[in-house]
Amino acid sequence: MRKNFYITTPIYYVNDKPHIGHAYTTIAADVLARFHKLQGEEVFLLTGTDEHGLKIQHKAEETGKEPQKFVDEISAEFRKLWDKLDIKYNNFIRTTDEKHKKAVQKVLQTLFNKGAIYKGEYEGLYCVACEQFRHENELVDGRCPDHDIVVEKIKEECYLLKMADIQDELVKRIENRELRIEPERYKREVLSFLKNEKLKDISISRKNVKWGIPLPFDKEHTTYVWVDAFLNYLTGLDWDGDANKLPAQWPASVQLLGKDILRVHATIWPAILIHLGIPLPKMLYVHGHILSGGRKMGKTLGNVISIDEMLSKFGVDGTRYLLMSAGTFGEDVDVTMERMVEKYNADLANGLGNLVSRVVKLMGDPGNWGDRGQIKVIGKLIEEMKMSEALSEIWKVVREDDKFIEENKPWELAKKDEKKFQEVMKKLVSDLRLIADLLVPFMPNTSEKIKKVLETKKTEVLFPRVK
């Protein structure tokens, strides 16, 4: 039996068009999915869009469009972008899909019948950009620390999910690594929070939000958008909401998420699953933010680098490369267009692209290709989510080969020492084949092109220089 590898991205809010923060997570998921496929695993990559809630309702109202029409349009933008970026997802889930909505209602009914959900009242400070209640002590001058907008005081009748009775269980499962949270410091952060604070029951419904899934047992309420959203990780596998009939891919191998949404993923999401008696995902892998000028890049702050501009400047593989090499996955990475242009020219146009064209121009008959020890080293790095480190390793080969060419001057050898010339070329061609293999998950098109030019010996400019 082949090993299952089920990987998810968060589902993206459709209040605005996709940006490079979203692309970052999704490209990482695609790289991991492609890598695990190469390992012979049965891979399923799920992504999609999160389409309900107050934030989206407001945005639709602003544009004067019917909410469904509005979300249809933006959701399509996400899919278009993933196609452009060569993301090979297995399913694209939308929370406005009828099947998803039915399954969510079934789950809520089950939780209600079990007594995990009860009617009450909630009072708190709501940040509509987070779609979450925030603690008073988190706020900066009454504003959300993540979005810099004023929070709203809400007091209303709602249904609540019991958190108290799952808290110890959750701590236990995180500690015994049934639910892994990586990198380690995020696990520590979650545990310290779970051990020091008593979890309040959370509100899972809203009375004043029209744009949501009605509660099956009280049509005056709609489902809280996060509860609706979390269930995508199961409905995206065609699950109908029956806790006794789980999809074969469940539990997820890796759920990728940005650090801003760790808290909810480590509390509400496992709480729902524990109440339902469903196994927890094996791992939550938390990544940092793409910063621009030191602040989280985002629609709400308006400091976004355009993904379309990146694509037109750097191409698909150039964009994938620049985002995956921007810094250690798990930590924040700061990017600017200027630095990306520099890196593109240095690593791709002058680096890999130039190397390929030099070798192909010099190439005689290639021999067979040598040692593949590198594949293991790089494979291990990717398995540990060290994508940028893996790319650095690959680029070490690129740079070594550049140096090797300078030192050996094969164009001179060709005229005076045929044997040495053949040896030098054999190493270079073998290295390029290795590079092409190693690049499959990151830069699938480039990988193909390198293999092709080595065969046809026709040079082509892989990465035109950009200004």
The contact set with ligand MSP (CB under 6 A) reads: 10-13, 21-22, 24-25, 50, 229-230, 257-258, 260-261, 289-290, 296-298
The single residue listed with the structure tokens 């593109």 is 344
Among residues 36, 52, 265, 296, the one annotated as catalytic is 296
Residue 141 sits at φ, ψ, to 5 deg, of 50, 45
Q: Which is nearer to ligand MSP, 180 or 426 (CB)?
A: 180
Q: Which is nearer to ligand MSP, 10 or 353 (CB)?
A: 10
Among residues 144, 158, 289, 343, the one annotated as catalytic is 144
How far the first Cα of the chain sits from its last, in Å, is 50
Q: Which is nearer to ligand MSP, 18 or 366 (CB)?
A: 18
Dihedral of the alpha carbons of 287, 293, 295, 296, in degrees to the nearest 10:
-40
Among residues 36, 130, 158, 343, the one annotated as catalytic is 130
Active site residue 287: no
The distance of closest approach from Cβ of residue 102 to ligand MSP in the complex, given in angstroms and rounded to an integer, is: 18
Strands 295-296 and 290-292: antiparallel
Q: Left (φ > 0), alpha (ψ -120 to 50) or beta: where does 115 sit?
A: left
Q: Which is nearer to ligand MSP, 215 or 297 (CB)?
A: 297
Distance of alpha carbon 8 from alpha carbon 284, whole angstroms: 10
Among residues 17, 207, 299, 457, the one annotated as catalytic is 299
* Cβ neighbourhood burial of 318 (10 Å; 0-12, 13-18, 19+): buried
The distance of closest approach from Cβ of residue 404 to ligand MSP in the complex, given in angstroms and rounded to an integer, is: 37
Residue 121, number of CB atoms within 10 A of its CB: 10
The distance of closest approach from Cβ of residue 399 to ligand MSP in the complex, given in angstroms and rounded to an integer, is: 28
- Cα angle: 230, vertex 275, 110; to 5 degrees: 85
Active site residue 144: yes
The distance of closest approach from Cβ of residue 91 to ligand MSP in the complex, given in angstroms and rounded to an integer, is: 15
Active site residue 22: yes
Active site residue 130: yes
Q: Which is nearer to ligand MSP, 258 or 270 (CB)?
A: 258
Distance of alpha carbon 153 from alpha carbon 159, whole angstroms: 18
The single residue listed with the structure tokens 């015994």 is 176
Q: Which is nearer to ligand MSP, 303 or 445 (CB)?
A: 303
Active site residue 296: yes
The residue number with the shortest CB distance to ligand MSP is: 258
The distance of closest approach from Cβ of residue 213 to ligand MSP in the complex, given in angstroms and rounded to an integer, is: 14
Active site residue 127: yes
Among residues 36, 100, 101, 127, the one annotated as catalytic is 127
Residue from 26, 34, 28, 44 nearest 80 by CA: 26
> Cα dist. 231→4, 22, 70 in Å?
20, 20, 22
The distance of closest approach from Cβ of residue 129 to ligand MSP in the complex, given in angstroms and rounded to an integer, is: 8
Contact 92, 48 (CB under 8 A): yes
Active site amino acids:
19, 22, 127, 130, 144, 147, 296, 299
